[in-house]
Structure 1
Amino acid sequence: MTTQRLPEIAKKSERLLVDIEQVVRGFVRYHKYTLGDDMRAQAMTVVRMCHRAWRDRNRQSHWVSELVWAIDELKLSLQLGSQLRAFKSFKQFESLIRATEEVGRCAGGWKRQIHRKSQNPEGEASPERAQILSGHAASSSHAGAKS
């Protein structure tokens, strides 16, 4: 497996993991081994979900959904870290949250793309919808005729 073939989201999530590792090293001892461990593990989960979604094409939709949840959980931890003043500066927090949001935007786009592909490409939903509407209109006029 070569990293050149990885999607952009995988590269961004790996960069985010490295950035989180570096920031957590600067946490005070208490936060480093509590919240910091959680952030590291969550960032690693995001990277793993990216790779699974990319490699396991048969279950890609599942893994991308899991990825979206993992990113949301990481955002929560980052926000908690900000509230607890675990970061050395607001700028440090802001940099990580922006990077996490960017990974989240990529994941959301990936999820929408998969959803569009899974829809019926022949556009058969429109005729069905038209039949339902005409059926409903016909039943209303038919019901009116019986009254």
Structure 2
Amino acid sequence: MDYKQLPIWRKANLMLVTIEQAVLHFPRYHKYTLGSELRQKAMRICQCIHRAVTRRSSKTKLVQQLSELIDDLKCQVQLAKELHAFKSFSQFQSVVELVVGLGKQAGGWLKQTRAELPLNKGR
């Protein structure tokens, strides 16, 4: 399966680009601290999706890690809003909607992968 065709990958990629564009407009004080962390976390989310698709033996663990990374990113995005790092509320709203949507997709994927575990098949 080509991971680039997956809806979760496309949404994660769009989120990464949207965060990159948002951080460009952060005030200098936040651009190189919080902005850098947001960019790195978004990149790690994309990497985690790729690994979860290509490494079947550790898929559940990687999808769990993905879900945790998204939760961490939600907290950081909220902090950036509270610190007025975003250029506008609509920019924050665009980012947070992507992150929340991605969290829902990851949650569904996690539920599915847990249901596929051999221990749960006998139930």
**1:94 equivalent in structure 2:** 93
Residue deviations 1:16-40 (CA, integer Å, cap 9, x gap): 0010001100111111111100000
Flag the structure with larger Rg: 1
**1:21 equivalent in structure 2:** 20
Residue deviations 1:31-64 (CA, integer Å, cap 9, x gap): 1111100000010011011111011011000100
Deviation at 1:121, TM superposition (A): 2.8
Residue deviations 1:102-130 (CA, integer Å, cap 9, x gap): 0100000000001111144343xxxxxxx
Normalized against structure 2, the TM-score is what? 0.93
- SS across alignment from 2:121: coil
Structure with larger RCO (C-alpha < 8 A, sep 6+): 2
Contact residue 3 and residue 53 of structure 2 kept, 8 A: no
CA distance in 2, matches of 1:2, 1:60: 15
1:77 aligns with 2:76: yes
Q: Quickly say closer, same or farther: Cα 1:13–1:33, change in 2 above 3 A.
A: same
* Structure 2 residues not aligned, in runs of 5+: none
* Structure 1 residues not aligned, in runs of 5+: 124-147
CA distance in 2, matches of 1:60, 1:121: 16
Residue deviations 1:48-88 (CA, integer Å, cap 9, x gap): 11111011011000100100010011111100000000001
Amino acid at match of 1:23: A
Amino acid at match of 2:121: P
**1:121 equivalent in structure 2:** 121
**When the two structures are aligned, how many residues end up with a matched partner?**
122
Contact residue 81 and residue 92 of structure 2 kept, 8 A: yes
CA distance in 1, matches of 2:44, 2:65: 10
Amino acid at match of 2:82: Q
- SS across alignment from 1:76: helix
Report % sequence identity: 40
Deviation at 1:2, TM superposition (A): 5.1
Structure 1 stretches of at least 4 aligned residues deviating more than 2 Å after TM superposition: 1-4, 119-123
**2:7 equivalent in structure 1:** 8
CA distance in 1, matches of 2:48, 2:3: 15
**1:66 equivalent in structure 2:** 65
Amino acid at match of 1:105: K
**Cα RMSD after superposing both structures:** 1.5
